[in-house]
Amino acid sequence: MIARVQAGDRQAFSVLVERYQREVWNLALRMLDDREDARDVAQETFVRAFQAIGRFRAGEPFRPWLMRIASNLAVDRLRLRGRAHLELCETFPQPDGDPAEGVSRREAVERVRAAVAALPPEYRRLVVLSYLQGLTHQEIAAATGLALTQVKNRLYRARLMMKRTLEGKVAHDV
């Protein structure tokens, strides 16, 4: 498929976009917490991928390469904002099951979203790639250009930061 895109097959590229749009969109949305920004970043990700796909080496995993483009753009956008973006998105899909349990779960997710949003951009990128997008540490290292030990250390620090934020919020709520 990628070879076909490299050969100039735009139809093949649209198939790639279809295949990865959900993942790129969710990565952008989770990092930016803003639908308009996420839409811009998702679209720009695929445009950049199209422009750079000639330099993509056959045999390398495509997903981390694409995630690298997307997360770099999202980090750039966060830095442009110049501050941690603590606003939450509008609505969440209602989970199935007991409504009371759904509300409780939604609150828990909202607290965690705020904790993720309070992270510095580089840490937020790692948390989203690891715990939300499900990339392995090796894939994250490939996607960010960090060493494997750096990825693990930063994720460790990110978890501590999120926990502290969460504890502050829990204490505040109580």
Partner 1 sequence: MTCREVRRELCRRWFAVDRGGAPDLADLQVHLVACAACRAEAETWAQLHGGLAGWPDEPPPADLVGGVMAAVAGLPAPAPRSDRFWRGLLGALVAWLALAGAGGAAALVWAPGSFAHMVREVVTAAALGGLIAARAGVALAAVARALLSEHPLAAAAAAVVFIALPLLGAQTAARRLRTQG
Query: What is the contact surface with partner 1 in residues (CB under 8 A)?
Result: 3, 5-8, 10, 13-14, 17-18, 21-22, 24-26, 29-30, 39, 42-43, 46-47, 50-57, 92-93, 95, 105, 108-109, 111-113, 115-116, 127, 131-132, 156, 159-160, 162-163, 166-167, 170
Which two structure tokens, joined as six digits, stand for 148? 């494997």
Residue 83 beta carbon to partner 1: minimum distance, rounded to whole angstroms = 22
Nearest CB to partner 1, comparing residues 142 and 158: 158
User: 3-state DSSP call for residue 83?
Assistant: coil
Which two structure tokens, joined as six digits, stand for 97? 């099951």
Which two structure tokens, joined as six digits, stand for 167? 């504890």
How far is residue 151 CA from its own chain's centroid? 15
Nearest CB to partner 1, comparing residues 2 and 84: 2
Residue 82 beta carbon to partner 1: minimum distance, rounded to whole angstroms = 25
Residue 117 beta carbon to partner 1: minimum distance, rounded to whole angstroms = 12
How far is residue 25 CA from its own chain's centroid? 8
Residue 89 beta carbon to partner 1: minimum distance, rounded to whole angstroms = 9
Residue 102 beta carbon to partner 1: minimum distance, rounded to whole angstroms = 10
**Crossing angle for the helix pair 10-32 and 62-81, to the nearest 10 degrees:** 40
Q: How many Cβ atoms sit within 10 Å of the Cβ of residue 13?
A: 19
Nearest CB to partner 1, comparing residues 57 and 83: 57
DSSP class of residue 55 equals G
Q: How many Cβ atoms sit within 10 Å of the Cβ of residue 110?
A: 14
Nearest CB to partner 1, comparing residues 82 and 91: 91
Nearest CB to partner 1, comparing residues 82 and 93: 93
**Crossing angle for the helix pair 62-81 and 35-52, to the nearest 10 degrees:** 130
